[in-house]
Amino acid sequence: MNVTLGEMANQTEKAYRKVVNSWAMYDWANSAFVTTIMATVLPVYYSNVAGADLPGNQATVYWGYTTSIALLIAALLAPILGAIADFSGVKKRFLAFFAAIGILSSALLYLVTTGDWFRASLFFIFGNFGFAAADMFYNSLLPHVARPGDIDQVSTRGYAFGYLGGGLLLAVNLAMIQFMADKGLAARLSFVSVAIWWAVFSIPLLRNVPEPPASGQGQRLNPVVAGFQRLNRTFREIRHYKQLFLFLVAFWAYNDGIGTIIKMATIYGAEIGIGDTALIGALLMTQFVGIPFAFAFGWLAKRIGPKPSIYLGLTIYTLISIGGYFMSVAWHFWVLAFMVGTVQGGSQALSRSLFGAMSPKAKMAEFFGFYEMSSRTAGIVGPFLFAVIGQMTGSSRLSIVALVVFFIVGGFLLSRVDEQEGIRIASAEDAAAGYGSVPILG
């Protein structure tokens, strides 16, 4: 049977959309960990149940240290794992392995009861490590999946899927907590629901997104040895990627503030006396507000560019941090949560796509290892600073307003990045390595 060029183009377009949507579904899957465990139910449960026997604001302080330790582990291992994956062509296999660690750790949180703050911290550290490591490999697939002209829109689609998926499960969990007589059991069941959700909705990516080719094909080297060699070479060659490196430093600065707000907002609200239902309900609203605004940032990036769009997000985050200092009643938290929803997904999605556009494809997982290291190292400093200031002052109000410095410094450094030069260097290296401009469809 004859197939017209139009039909072939249509089939190719369908295959492209299938791969893109399957990739984005992983954001739907793992965002359940972010919404229920990282940002809402577990911080409140940690404060009110696991850390119930701790005095004063000690639960908030311990939660800050817990998140810092979890992120430090991920930051130290991310670059070498990325280098090994690039050399061996095992991005998807590594993603599945580390996601399994996160999924199992999420389920184990069911065992945490009154006073078990240390056990809660331990399971969260392993869960967050699994989440962060798997997320690095997920991010590194983006430039292989998306067409060059679509990378901003595909990245924001992933965040929009994440908002919707994470928001839907959070709504179910909020309903359980609201209507079940045993609130503690409801919270523990919500942790199990995250594990199931994450596992099930990871399947489309694992089935439909092709594994990019290994950069070490034909080389007889142990992948671990090769990974360390590549990492060492990348450190030596970092000056060749001056714009990429400068962007990493800028991202480190402003993402520190973003990540700290995500991780500490709920437990901070609990500390100043805002009720559990209001805290979780406001963050549920954030998820659904974030869906249209994530797409809106993709639209905005096409018209004014990704950097100006990120500047807008950082300006709003600065206002959020200042507003957090004065927060005292539930409706204040709702307003600030709405503001977070307008910028959170868009600013992070455009950061991811801008970094991907400036990275050579042959080193994508390796470079996203540095991106992840920058992200997670940033996440160490912010919660740690939040915890230290809170411990010194006995209150977290100065902790939240101190985050302003990260947005100011990050925005200034971002203004020094010449993204066009960074993209030109990456494109030249891709051409020399034989990478085309068409995404891998299998």
Q: What tokens were used for 202?
A: 């990871």
316 close to 342: Cβ distance less than 8 angstroms: yes
pTM above 0.75, yes or no: no
Would you state the structure tokens that stand for residue 208, as one six-digit string?
Answer: 């439909």
Instruction: Mean pLDDT check: name the lowest of 185-199, 239-253, 402-416.
Output: 239-253
Residue 426 has pLDDT above 90, yes or no: no
Cβ atoms of 83 and 230 closer than 8 Å: yes
Give the tokens for residue 387: 């915890």
End-to-end C-alpha distance for the chain, whole angstroms: 23
- Cβ neighbours of residue 202 closer than 8 Å, sequence gap 6 or more: 25, 26, 29, 30, 96, 99
User: Residue 85: CB partners within 8 Å, gap ≥ 6?
Assistant: 91, 94, 137, 140, 365, 366
- How many separate helices (H) and strands (E) can be counted in the chain? 18, 0
Element (H, E) at 160: helix 151-179
Fold annotation for 22-202+224-433: Growth Hormone; Chain: A; (1.20.1250)
Domain boundaries, the chain: 22-202+224-433
**Regarding predicted confidence, which is higher, 118 or 267?**
118
pLDDT tens digits along 345-362: 888 888 888 988 888 877
Mean pLDDT for the chain overall: 82
Q: Taking the CB of residue 437, how many other CB atoms lie within 10 A of it?
A: 11
Q: Predicted confidence band at 204 (pLDDT cuts at 50, 70, 90)?
A: very high
b/e sequence 116-135, b meaning 16+ C-beta within 10 Å = bbeebbbbbbbbbbbbbbbb
| Cα–Cα distance for residue pair 250/406, rounded to 1 Å | 9
Give CA–CA dist 27/168, Å, rounded: 13
CA angle, corner 127, sides to 122 and 130, nearest 5?
A: 130
> Which whole number is the average pLDDT over 393-414?
88
d(C-alpha 338, C-alpha 122), whole Å = 31
Q: Is 70 exceeded by the pLDDT of residue 112?
A: yes
The CA distance from 148 to 141, in Å, is 13
